[in-house]
A = this chain, B = another copy of it.
Amino acid sequence: MRASIATGPRAFSSDVLPIVSTRFDRWALRRIQLSVEAARLRFVLWDGFELRPKSGPPVATITFKNRRALLSWVWDPDLNLGEAYMFGAVEIHGDLTAMLEEVYRTLTSTVRPWWRWQHANNVRAARENVHHHYDLGNDFYRLWLDRELIYTCAYFPTDACTLEDAQMAKMDRVCRKLRLTPGERVVEAGCGWGTLALFMAARYGVTVRAFNISGEQIRYARAQAKHAGLADRVEFVEDDYRNVQGEHDVFVSVGMLEHVGTSDYPALSHVMHRSLGDHGRGLLHFIGRNRPTPLNPWIRRRIFPGAYPPTLREVFQGVLEPHEFSVLDVENLRLHYARTLQHWRQRFEDASDQVIEMFDEPFVRAWRLYLAGSQVAFSTGCMQLFQVVFARGSTNRIPRTRSA
Protein backbone atom coordinates (compact mmCIF):
# COMPACT_ATOMS: atom_id res chain seq x y z
CA MET A 1 0.00 0.00 0.00
CA ARG A 2 3.04 2.31 0.09
CA ALA A 3 3.03 4.66 -2.90
CA SER A 4 6.14 6.66 -3.69
CA ILE A 5 5.81 9.81 -5.74
CA ALA A 6 9.49 9.72 -6.76
CA THR A 7 8.87 7.29 -9.55
CA GLY A 8 8.09 9.97 -12.13
CA PRO A 9 10.68 10.93 -14.76
CA ARG A 10 13.77 12.37 -13.21
CA ALA A 11 13.52 15.40 -15.39
CA PHE A 12 15.85 17.44 -13.31
CA SER A 13 19.06 15.41 -13.32
CA SER A 14 22.22 17.49 -13.38
CA ASP A 15 24.08 15.53 -16.03
CA VAL A 16 24.24 18.39 -18.51
CA LEU A 17 25.26 21.05 -16.02
CA PRO A 18 27.16 23.84 -17.81
CA ILE A 19 30.08 25.17 -15.81
CA VAL A 20 29.33 28.83 -16.38
CA SER A 21 25.89 30.36 -16.86
CA THR A 22 25.28 32.02 -20.23
CA ARG A 23 23.74 35.41 -21.00
CA PHE A 24 20.55 33.49 -21.84
CA ASP A 25 20.51 31.80 -18.42
CA ARG A 26 20.91 35.17 -16.72
CA TRP A 27 18.16 36.68 -18.85
CA ALA A 28 15.88 33.81 -17.80
CA LEU A 29 16.72 34.41 -14.13
CA ARG A 30 15.83 38.10 -14.54
CA ARG A 31 12.48 37.10 -15.99
CA ILE A 32 11.78 34.98 -12.93
CA GLN A 33 12.79 37.79 -10.62
CA LEU A 34 10.55 40.22 -12.51
CA SER A 35 7.56 37.90 -12.17
CA VAL A 36 7.80 38.26 -8.38
CA GLU A 37 9.43 41.68 -8.40
CA ALA A 38 8.23 42.80 -4.98
CA ALA A 39 9.40 39.58 -3.28
CA ARG A 40 12.46 39.97 -1.06
CA LEU A 41 14.25 36.97 -2.51
CA ARG A 42 17.78 36.28 -3.70
CA PHE A 43 18.07 34.17 -6.85
CA VAL A 44 21.27 32.25 -7.58
CA LEU A 45 22.45 30.19 -10.56
CA TRP A 46 24.60 27.05 -10.38
CA ASP A 47 27.76 29.02 -11.02
CA GLY A 48 27.11 31.59 -8.31
CA PHE A 49 25.62 34.34 -10.49
CA GLU A 50 23.02 36.09 -8.33
CA LEU A 51 20.20 38.62 -8.38
CA ARG A 52 19.33 40.38 -5.13
CA PRO A 53 15.99 41.95 -4.18
CA LYS A 54 15.40 45.53 -5.31
CA SER A 55 15.34 46.70 -1.71
CA GLY A 56 16.28 45.33 1.68
CA PRO A 57 17.91 42.07 2.67
CA PRO A 58 16.49 38.83 1.23
CA VAL A 59 14.38 36.57 3.46
CA ALA A 60 15.56 33.50 1.55
CA THR A 61 17.78 32.34 -1.31
CA ILE A 62 16.56 30.24 -4.23
CA THR A 63 19.32 28.35 -6.03
CA PHE A 64 18.81 26.77 -9.45
CA LYS A 65 21.15 23.82 -9.75
CA ASN A 66 20.82 23.37 -13.50
CA ARG A 67 19.40 24.93 -16.65
CA ARG A 68 16.42 22.62 -16.88
CA ALA A 69 15.15 23.72 -13.47
CA LEU A 70 15.62 27.34 -14.52
CA LEU A 71 13.80 27.05 -17.84
CA SER A 72 11.01 24.89 -16.52
CA TRP A 73 10.32 27.60 -13.96
CA VAL A 74 10.12 30.28 -16.62
CA TRP A 75 7.80 28.06 -18.64
CA ASP A 76 5.33 27.15 -15.88
CA PRO A 77 6.29 28.33 -12.41
CA ASP A 78 3.02 27.13 -10.83
CA LEU A 79 3.83 23.56 -11.72
CA ASN A 80 7.62 23.53 -11.81
CA LEU A 81 8.53 25.30 -8.61
CA GLY A 82 7.21 22.19 -6.93
CA GLU A 83 8.70 19.72 -9.42
CA ALA A 84 12.16 21.26 -9.34
CA TYR A 85 12.17 21.58 -5.56
CA MET A 86 10.97 18.06 -4.90
CA PHE A 87 13.65 16.52 -7.13
CA GLY A 88 16.38 18.66 -5.64
CA ALA A 89 17.10 20.79 -8.72
CA VAL A 90 16.13 23.89 -6.75
CA GLU A 91 17.35 24.52 -3.23
CA ILE A 92 15.86 27.00 -0.83
CA HIS A 93 18.07 28.44 1.90
CA GLY A 94 16.41 30.37 4.66
CA ASP A 95 12.91 29.89 6.01
CA LEU A 96 10.70 28.01 3.54
CA THR A 97 7.53 29.60 4.92
CA ALA A 98 8.96 33.11 4.71
CA MET A 99 10.08 32.48 1.13
CA LEU A 100 6.64 31.18 0.14
CA GLU A 101 4.94 34.12 1.85
CA GLU A 102 6.95 36.50 -0.31
CA VAL A 103 5.86 34.64 -3.42
CA TYR A 104 2.18 34.34 -2.40
CA ARG A 105 1.85 37.99 -1.44
CA THR A 106 3.23 38.96 -4.84
CA LEU A 107 1.04 36.54 -6.74
CA THR A 108 -2.26 37.41 -5.06
CA SER A 109 -2.39 40.58 -7.10
CA THR A 110 -1.67 38.70 -10.32
CA VAL A 111 -4.50 37.33 -12.45
CA ARG A 112 -3.71 33.90 -13.79
CA PRO A 113 -5.52 32.31 -16.71
CA TRP A 114 -7.63 29.27 -16.06
CA TRP A 115 -6.16 27.19 -18.84
CA ARG A 116 -6.10 23.87 -17.11
CA TRP A 117 -9.12 21.64 -17.24
CA GLN A 118 -10.86 20.42 -14.14
CA HIS A 119 -12.08 16.93 -14.81
CA ALA A 120 -15.34 15.72 -13.27
CA ASN A 121 -14.71 13.18 -10.52
CA ASN A 122 -16.86 10.17 -11.27
CA VAL A 123 -17.07 7.46 -8.64
CA ARG A 124 -14.03 5.60 -10.01
CA ALA A 125 -11.89 8.71 -10.43
CA ALA A 126 -12.87 9.83 -6.93
CA ARG A 127 -11.71 6.46 -5.61
CA GLU A 128 -8.35 6.74 -7.37
CA ASN A 129 -7.85 10.31 -6.18
CA VAL A 130 -8.58 9.38 -2.61
CA HIS A 131 -6.35 6.32 -2.83
CA HIS A 132 -3.50 8.52 -4.06
CA HIS A 133 -3.55 10.65 -0.93
CA TYR A 134 -5.33 8.99 1.94
CA ASP A 135 -4.05 5.45 1.47
CA LEU A 136 -0.41 6.42 2.00
CA GLY A 137 -0.66 4.43 5.20
CA ASN A 138 -1.90 5.16 8.68
CA ASP A 139 1.68 4.83 9.95
CA PHE A 140 2.69 7.81 7.84
CA TYR A 141 -0.12 10.07 9.09
CA ARG A 142 0.43 8.92 12.67
CA LEU A 143 3.91 10.48 12.50
CA TRP A 144 2.65 14.04 12.27
CA LEU A 145 -1.13 14.31 12.83
CA ASP A 146 -2.66 14.56 16.30
CA ARG A 147 -3.16 11.32 18.22
CA GLU A 148 -6.78 11.03 16.97
CA LEU A 149 -5.68 11.28 13.32
CA ILE A 150 -7.75 14.31 12.36
CA TYR A 151 -6.64 15.62 8.99
CA THR A 152 -8.72 18.80 8.80
CA CYS A 153 -8.48 22.34 10.17
CA ALA A 154 -8.49 22.52 13.98
CA TYR A 155 -10.04 25.29 16.09
CA PHE A 156 -7.80 27.18 18.53
CA PRO A 157 -9.92 28.95 21.17
CA THR A 158 -6.70 30.48 22.51
CA ASP A 159 -3.20 30.91 21.16
CA ALA A 160 -1.80 28.52 23.76
CA CYS A 161 -4.12 25.65 22.81
CA THR A 162 -2.35 22.43 21.77
CA LEU A 163 -3.13 20.73 18.47
CA GLU A 164 -4.79 17.85 20.32
CA ASP A 165 -7.06 20.22 22.26
CA ALA A 166 -7.74 22.29 19.15
CA GLN A 167 -9.00 19.24 17.27
CA MET A 168 -11.30 18.40 20.17
CA ALA A 169 -12.48 22.03 20.19
CA LYS A 170 -13.16 21.85 16.46
CA MET A 171 -15.28 18.73 16.77
CA ASP A 172 -17.18 20.18 19.69
CA ARG A 173 -17.75 23.39 17.74
CA VAL A 174 -19.17 21.43 14.81
CA CYS A 175 -21.54 19.53 17.12
CA ARG A 176 -22.66 22.71 18.88
CA LYS A 177 -23.27 24.52 15.62
CA LEU A 178 -25.44 21.58 14.59
CA ARG A 179 -27.27 21.52 17.97
CA LEU A 180 -27.04 17.73 18.05
CA THR A 181 -29.44 16.11 20.50
CA PRO A 182 -29.41 12.51 21.74
CA GLY A 183 -31.03 9.97 19.45
CA GLU A 184 -30.70 12.01 16.28
CA ARG A 185 -29.54 10.31 13.10
CA VAL A 186 -26.44 11.80 11.51
CA VAL A 187 -24.95 10.96 8.14
CA GLU A 188 -21.32 11.92 7.55
CA ALA A 189 -19.88 12.18 4.04
CA GLY A 190 -16.11 11.69 3.98
CA CYS A 191 -15.30 10.58 7.53
CA GLY A 192 -11.50 10.19 7.44
CA TRP A 193 -10.37 7.89 10.25
CA GLY A 194 -13.81 8.20 11.86
CA THR A 195 -12.87 10.44 14.78
CA LEU A 196 -15.71 12.97 14.37
CA ALA A 197 -18.31 10.22 13.92
CA LEU A 198 -17.18 8.54 17.14
CA PHE A 199 -17.00 11.89 18.95
CA MET A 200 -20.57 12.78 17.95
CA ALA A 201 -21.88 9.42 19.11
CA ALA A 202 -19.92 9.39 22.38
CA ARG A 203 -20.40 13.01 23.44
CA TYR A 204 -23.76 13.93 21.88
CA GLY A 205 -25.59 10.61 21.92
CA VAL A 206 -26.44 10.49 18.23
CA THR A 207 -26.26 7.55 15.84
CA VAL A 208 -23.99 8.00 12.82
CA ARG A 209 -23.62 6.47 9.38
CA ALA A 210 -20.22 7.57 8.10
CA PHE A 211 -19.08 7.19 4.49
CA ASN A 212 -15.55 7.03 3.10
CA ILE A 213 -14.03 5.45 -0.01
CA SER A 214 -10.61 4.96 1.57
CA GLY A 215 -10.51 1.29 2.56
CA GLU A 216 -7.57 1.73 4.92
CA GLN A 217 -9.31 4.55 6.81
CA ILE A 218 -12.58 2.62 7.08
CA ARG A 219 -10.84 -0.45 8.52
CA TYR A 220 -9.12 1.72 11.11
CA ALA A 221 -12.38 3.51 11.96
CA ARG A 222 -14.27 0.23 12.45
CA ALA A 223 -11.61 -1.02 14.83
CA GLN A 224 -11.83 2.24 16.79
CA ALA A 225 -15.62 1.96 17.00
CA LYS A 226 -15.36 -1.57 18.37
CA HIS A 227 -12.65 -0.52 20.82
CA ALA A 228 -14.79 2.37 22.08
CA GLY A 229 -17.90 0.20 22.38
CA LEU A 230 -19.69 2.36 19.83
CA ALA A 231 -20.04 -0.17 17.00
CA ASP A 232 -23.81 -0.35 17.56
CA ARG A 233 -24.26 3.38 17.11
CA VAL A 234 -21.65 4.26 14.51
CA GLU A 235 -21.67 2.45 11.20
CA PHE A 236 -18.71 2.97 8.88
CA VAL A 237 -19.60 2.41 5.24
CA GLU A 238 -16.90 1.97 2.58
CA ASP A 239 -18.75 3.68 -0.22
CA ASP A 240 -19.08 6.89 -2.23
CA TYR A 241 -21.12 9.75 -0.72
CA ARG A 242 -23.38 9.50 -3.79
CA ASN A 243 -24.67 6.18 -2.48
CA VAL A 244 -25.96 7.55 0.84
CA GLN A 245 -29.48 6.24 1.45
CA GLY A 246 -32.11 6.62 4.16
CA GLU A 247 -33.55 9.59 6.07
CA HIS A 248 -31.44 11.50 8.58
CA ASP A 249 -31.74 14.55 10.79
CA VAL A 250 -28.27 15.89 10.11
CA PHE A 251 -25.83 15.86 7.18
CA VAL A 252 -22.23 16.67 8.02
CA SER A 253 -19.16 16.77 5.84
CA VAL A 254 -15.78 17.96 7.07
CA GLY A 255 -13.03 18.26 4.49
CA MET A 256 -14.68 16.41 1.61
CA LEU A 257 -16.14 19.16 -0.56
CA GLU A 258 -12.67 20.13 -1.81
CA HIS A 259 -12.54 16.71 -3.45
CA VAL A 260 -15.94 17.08 -5.13
CA GLY A 261 -15.67 18.88 -8.47
CA THR A 262 -18.18 21.69 -9.08
CA SER A 263 -19.76 19.58 -11.81
CA ASP A 264 -20.77 17.09 -9.12
CA TYR A 265 -22.32 19.69 -6.81
CA PRO A 266 -25.85 19.03 -8.12
CA ALA A 267 -25.36 15.33 -7.31
CA LEU A 268 -24.21 16.21 -3.79
CA SER A 269 -27.17 18.57 -3.43
CA HIS A 270 -29.52 15.80 -4.44
CA VAL A 271 -27.94 13.39 -1.94
CA MET A 272 -28.42 15.97 0.83
CA HIS A 273 -32.00 16.55 -0.24
CA ARG A 274 -32.74 12.84 -0.42
CA SER A 275 -31.14 11.97 2.89
CA LEU A 276 -32.56 14.78 5.06
CA GLY A 277 -36.03 14.89 6.59
CA ASP A 278 -38.38 17.91 6.68
CA HIS A 279 -36.44 19.52 9.50
CA GLY A 280 -33.03 18.44 8.27
CA ARG A 281 -29.95 20.54 8.77
CA GLY A 282 -26.27 20.19 8.10
CA LEU A 283 -22.74 21.53 8.12
CA LEU A 284 -20.17 21.76 5.33
CA HIS A 285 -16.55 22.39 6.35
CA PHE A 286 -14.25 22.98 3.39
CA ILE A 287 -11.23 24.78 1.99
CA GLY A 288 -12.38 27.63 -0.22
CA ARG A 289 -11.49 30.77 -2.11
CA ASN A 290 -12.53 34.39 -2.27
CA ARG A 291 -12.90 34.11 -6.04
CA PRO A 292 -12.82 31.13 -8.38
CA THR A 293 -9.20 30.05 -8.81
CA PRO A 294 -7.78 26.74 -10.00
CA LEU A 295 -5.79 24.79 -7.46
CA ASN A 296 -2.05 24.99 -7.96
CA PRO A 297 -1.27 22.40 -10.67
CA TRP A 298 1.68 20.94 -8.79
CA ILE A 299 -0.52 20.27 -5.74
CA ARG A 300 -3.05 18.66 -8.06
CA ARG A 301 -0.38 16.48 -9.67
CA ARG A 302 1.61 15.40 -6.62
CA ILE A 303 -0.65 15.81 -3.60
CA PHE A 304 -4.39 16.12 -4.32
CA PRO A 305 -5.49 14.89 -7.74
CA GLY A 306 -8.99 16.09 -8.57
CA ALA A 307 -9.16 18.67 -5.78
CA TYR A 308 -10.76 22.09 -6.20
CA PRO A 309 -11.37 24.59 -3.36
CA PRO A 310 -14.57 26.48 -4.28
CA THR A 311 -15.91 29.91 -3.41
CA LEU A 312 -18.94 30.20 -1.16
CA ARG A 313 -20.84 31.35 -4.22
CA GLU A 314 -20.04 28.16 -6.12
CA VAL A 315 -21.16 26.04 -3.16
CA PHE A 316 -24.36 28.00 -2.63
CA GLN A 317 -25.20 27.90 -6.32
CA GLY A 318 -24.44 24.24 -6.88
CA VAL A 319 -25.18 22.63 -3.53
CA LEU A 320 -27.62 24.72 -1.49
CA GLU A 321 -29.83 26.67 -3.92
CA PRO A 322 -31.09 23.73 -6.03
CA HIS A 323 -33.08 22.36 -3.09
CA GLU A 324 -33.62 25.69 -1.37
CA PHE A 325 -31.49 24.95 1.65
CA SER A 326 -31.18 28.02 3.83
CA VAL A 327 -27.78 29.31 4.97
CA LEU A 328 -27.90 29.85 8.73
CA ASP A 329 -24.29 30.52 9.61
CA VAL A 330 -20.90 30.88 7.95
CA GLU A 331 -17.54 31.18 9.68
CA ASN A 332 -14.14 31.65 8.09
CA LEU A 333 -11.39 29.85 10.01
CA ARG A 334 -8.45 30.38 7.66
CA LEU A 335 -6.06 31.57 10.38
CA HIS A 336 -6.89 28.43 12.36
CA TYR A 337 -5.84 26.35 9.39
CA ALA A 338 -2.56 28.25 9.09
CA ARG A 339 -1.88 27.40 12.71
CA THR A 340 -2.96 23.78 12.27
CA LEU A 341 -0.56 23.43 9.34
CA GLN A 342 2.22 25.01 11.34
CA HIS A 343 1.75 22.27 13.96
CA TRP A 344 1.66 19.55 11.33
CA ARG A 345 4.75 20.83 9.57
CA GLN A 346 6.72 21.01 12.81
CA ARG A 347 5.81 17.41 13.61
CA PHE A 348 6.50 16.38 10.03
CA GLU A 349 10.01 17.90 10.17
CA ASP A 350 10.65 16.19 13.49
CA ALA A 351 9.76 12.87 11.86
CA SER A 352 11.39 13.49 8.48
CA ASP A 353 14.05 10.75 8.97
CA GLN A 354 11.30 8.19 9.45
CA VAL A 355 9.39 9.50 6.41
CA ILE A 356 12.52 9.14 4.25
CA GLU A 357 12.81 5.54 5.43
CA MET A 358 9.15 4.89 4.54
CA PHE A 359 9.34 6.63 1.17
CA ASP A 360 12.27 8.62 -0.21
CA GLU A 361 13.85 12.05 -0.31
CA PRO A 362 11.64 13.54 -3.08
CA PHE A 363 8.56 12.45 -1.13
CA VAL A 364 9.76 14.28 1.96
CA ARG A 365 10.62 17.38 -0.05
CA ALA A 366 7.24 17.31 -1.81
CA TRP A 367 5.33 17.05 1.46
CA ARG A 368 7.49 19.69 3.10
CA LEU A 369 6.64 22.07 0.28
CA TYR A 370 2.96 21.12 0.35
CA LEU A 371 2.62 21.66 4.10
CA ALA A 372 4.56 24.92 4.07
CA GLY A 373 2.76 26.14 0.96
CA SER A 374 -0.64 25.36 2.44
CA GLN A 375 0.22 27.14 5.68
CA VAL A 376 1.22 30.21 3.72
CA ALA A 377 -1.84 30.02 1.45
CA PHE A 378 -4.03 30.31 4.54
CA SER A 379 -1.91 32.88 6.36
CA THR A 380 -1.79 35.18 3.33
CA GLY A 381 -5.48 34.84 2.51
CA CYS A 382 -5.03 32.91 -0.75
CA MET A 383 -7.14 30.11 0.71
CA GLN A 384 -10.05 30.17 3.12
CA LEU A 385 -11.59 27.64 5.48
CA PHE A 386 -15.37 27.87 5.58
CA GLN A 387 -17.85 26.25 7.92
CA VAL A 388 -21.38 26.59 6.57
CA VAL A 389 -24.44 25.63 8.61
CA PHE A 390 -27.64 25.17 6.62
CA ALA A 391 -31.17 23.86 7.10
CA ARG A 392 -34.25 23.08 5.07
CA GLY A 393 -35.68 26.39 3.91
CA SER A 394 -39.08 25.71 5.42
CA THR A 395 -38.21 24.53 8.92
CA ASN A 396 -38.35 26.80 11.96
CA ARG A 397 -36.44 24.34 14.12
CA ILE A 398 -33.39 26.54 13.80
CA PRO A 399 -31.39 28.31 16.50
CA ARG A 400 -32.73 31.76 17.40
CA THR A 401 -29.31 32.99 18.52
CA ARG A 402 -25.77 31.64 18.45
CA SER A 403 -25.81 31.12 22.19
CA ALA A 404 -29.33 29.75 22.59
Contacts and interface: CB of A to CB of B under 8 A. Distances in A.
Contacts of A311: 316, 321
Contacts of A379: 396
B312 A316 contact: yes
Nearest to A384: B326
Nearest to A392: B381
A331 B379 CA distance: 24
Contacts of A326: 290, 332, 334, 381, 384
Contacts of A108: 324, 393-394
A159 B401 CA distance: 11
Contact of A327 (B157, B324, B330, B398): B330
A380 interface: yes
B327 A312 contact: yes
Given A394-B105, A396-B381, A401 B157 contact: yes
A80 to B, nearest CB: 26
Contact of A381 (B380, B393, B402): B393
Q: What is the oligomeric copy number?
A: 2
Interface residues of A, number: 40
A85 interface: no
A317 interface: yes
A331 B329 contact: yes
A72 to B, nearest CB: 29
Interface string A376-388: 0001110010100
A332 B321 contact: no
Nearest to A325: B290
Given A335-B400, A379-B396, A317 B313 contact: yes
Interface of A: 105, 108, 156-157, 159, 290-292, 311-313, 316-317, 320-321, 324-332, 334-336, 379-381, 384, 386, 393-396, 398, 400-402
Given A291-B324, A380-B394, 18 more contacts: A108-B324, A108-B393, A108-B394, A157-B401, A290-B320, A290-B321, A292-B321, A312-B316, A313-B316, A313-B317, A316-B316, A326-B332, A326-B384, A329-B330, A330-B330, A335-B396, A335-B400, A402-B402
